[in-house]
């Protein structure tokens, strides 16, 4: 949206419009879903003025009101499904990872969480008929896990027919058996993955705001952002806020971070994929004592919760723990050199 249109809102002059745009409030919709406190803090606007601007934007953008179930159904038809390229897992998840939702993948060290984020950074770029979302990826790396070499492996691990489709659409001459063409294709995949390393929890929160700006810049481009991966969501919060005395502040900051991520999903029809660490519950006498970090804040914010568990060799059990419209269940996959593969 051009800046001068923001000046149509009551109380927004040229200087205020500049402040709003500089802080990511570039459209009526992005203003409408903000809170007065948030806008006041980030754009240096009085809270009372911010409330008036937000209310005017809500009227202009026609958000915040009730709608019929039929309208909700029509809007949900815009939701995309990102395939894992593993039929058993896709069936478990009702087609794959949903846009406009937070999908949480948790499990112990070595269970394959980072492998999932890397695989989805590749899969999201595929054509919809091949299970992708025809878009790019934002990757927030909090534990120094992102490895371009794994993207190389996973692109090479795609089916030859999919590779041929990708070469054709990206205008790369050659075949999957042509090493020079493959290297060009791998570079093209890497070009659509935007990576940032988060050094602490405050930087991680800032990167979520930057991710919203980046998604807005690419919204009308050939490669809109269709997935945001955060690997891992809780590592910095867990390390920096230690003990019960700091639990409330940790959860409050984590809650804001999750809402910032969810806003990206809602505004830009983007899938949000986060990985999470686990801890052992000593009070559990029966069953698996492993539980996800983050408590109820993360439990309620995540639309889909997936538990990855090690099995024999390279096998991993993918367990759907929580989903609003799907039954709990399990599927099996393998984590191999070429990426995630069926059993």
H/E stretch holding 274: strand 271-276
Task: For 24-63, give the DSSP string.
Answer: T--SHHHHHTS-HHHHHHHHT--HHHHHHHHHHHHHHHT-
Distance CA 127, CA 136 (A): 12
Mean of all residue pLDDT scores within the chain: 89
Highest mean pLDDT among 13-22, 28-37, 93-102, 283-292: 93-102
The model's pLDDT over 113-164, given as tens digits with 9 standing for 90+, comes to: 999 999 999 999 999 999 999 999 999 999 999 999 999 999 999 999 999 9
343 is in an annotated binding site: no
Residues of the chain with pLDDT > 90: what percent?
62
Task: Over range 304-311, report the average pLDDT.
Answer: 96
| Residue 331, token pair as written in the block | 């599927």
More confident residue, 33 or 235: 235
pLDDT band at 289 (very low <50, low <70, confident <90, very high): low
The model's pLDDT over 23-61, given as tens digits with 9 standing for 90+, comes to: 777 778 778 878 888 888 777 888 888 899 988 888 887
> What does the pLDDT read at residue 335?
97
49 is in an annotated binding site: no
Q: Is the pLDDT of residue 20 over 50?
A: yes
Length of the chain: 343
Distance CA 307, CA 208 (A): 24
The model's pLDDT over 202-218, given as tens digits with 9 standing for 90+, comes to: 999 999 999 999 999 99
69 is in an annotated binding site: no
> What does the pLDDT read at residue 3?
45
Q: Which of 32-41, 55-64, 230-239, 302-311 has the lowest mean pLDDT?
A: 55-64
Q: Is the pLDDT of residue 295 over 90?
A: no
More confident residue, 29 or 13: 13
135 is in an annotated binding site: no
| Residue 219, token pair as written in the block | 């919204």
Q: CA Rg, the chain, in Å?
A: 21
Task: Over range 269-282, report the average pLDDT.
Answer: 85
Task: Say which CATH class 75-341 falls into.
Answer: alpha beta
166 is in an annotated binding site: no
40 is in an annotated binding site: no
Q: In sequence order, what are the residues at sequence separation of 6 or more whose Cβ sits closer than 8 angstroms to the Cβ of residue 239?
A: none
SS3 60: helix
The model's pLDDT over 174-207, given as tens digits with 9 standing for 90+, comes to: 999 999 999 999 999 999 999 999 999 999 999 9
Q: How many other CB atoms sit within 10 Å of the CB of residue 73?
A: 9
CATH tag, 6-61: 1.10.150.20
> What does the pLDDT read at residue 281?
62
> What does the pLDDT read at residue 284?
47
> What does the pLDDT read at residue 1?
41
Task: Over range 278-307, report the average pLDDT.
Answer: 72
Task: Over range 216-239, report the average pLDDT.
Answer: 94
Locate CATH 1.10.150.20 in the chain.
6-61
The model's pLDDT over 70-97, given as tens digits with 9 standing for 90+, comes to: 877 887 788 999 999 999 999 999 999 9
> What does the pLDDT read at residue 4?
45
Q: Which residue has the tokens 């299970």?
A: 131
Locate CATH 3.40.50.300 in the chain.
75-341
315 is in an annotated binding site: no
Taken in order 27, 136, 194, 171, the sign of the CA dihedral is: negative
The model's pLDDT over 316-327, given as tens digits with 9 standing for 90+, comes to: 999 999 999 999
114 is in an annotated binding site: yes
Global pTM value? 0.81
């Amino acid at each position: 949206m051009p800046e001068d249109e923001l000046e149509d809102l009551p109380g927004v002059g040229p200087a205020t419009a500049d402040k709003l745009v500089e802080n990511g409030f570039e459209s009526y919709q992005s203003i409408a879903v903000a809170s007065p406190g948030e806008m006041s803090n980030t754009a240096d606007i009085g809270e009372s003025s911010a409330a008036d601007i937000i209310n005017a934007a809500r009227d202009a953008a026609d958000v915040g009101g009730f709608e019929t179930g039929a309208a909700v159904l029509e809007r949900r038809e815009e939701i995309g499904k990102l395939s894992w390229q593993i039929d058993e897992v896709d069936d478990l998840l009702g087609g794959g990872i949903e846009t406009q939702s937070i999908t949480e993948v948790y499990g112990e060290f070595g269970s394959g969480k980072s492998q999932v984020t890397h695989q989805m950074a590749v899969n999201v770029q595929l054509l919809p008929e091949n299970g992708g979302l025809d878009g790019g990826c934002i990757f927030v790396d909090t534990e120094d896990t992102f490895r371009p070499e794994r993207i190389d492996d996973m692109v090479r691990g795609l089916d030859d027919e999919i590779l041929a489709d990708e070469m054709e659409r990206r205008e790369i001459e050659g075949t999957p058996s042509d090493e020079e063409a493959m290297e060009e294709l791998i570079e093209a995949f890497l070009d659509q993955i935007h990576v940032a390393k988060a050094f602490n929890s405050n930087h991680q929160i800032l990167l979520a705001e930057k991710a919203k700006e980046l998604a807005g810049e690419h919204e009308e481009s050939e490669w809109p952002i269709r997935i945001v991966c955060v690997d891992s969501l809780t590592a910095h919060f867990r390390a920096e806020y230690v003990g019960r005395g700091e639990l409330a502040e940790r959860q409050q900051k984590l809650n804001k971070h999750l809402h910032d991520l969810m806003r990206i999903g809602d505004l830009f029809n983007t899938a949000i994929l986060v990985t999470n660490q686990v801890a052992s519950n000593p009070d559990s006498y029966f069953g698996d004592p492993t539980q996800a970090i983050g408590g109820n804040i993360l439990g309620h914010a995540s639309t889909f919760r997936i538990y990855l568990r090690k099995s024999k060799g390279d096998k991993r059990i993918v367990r759907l723990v929580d989903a609003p419209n799907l039954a709990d269940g399990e599927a099996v996959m393998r984590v191999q050199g070429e990426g995630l593969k069926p059993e």
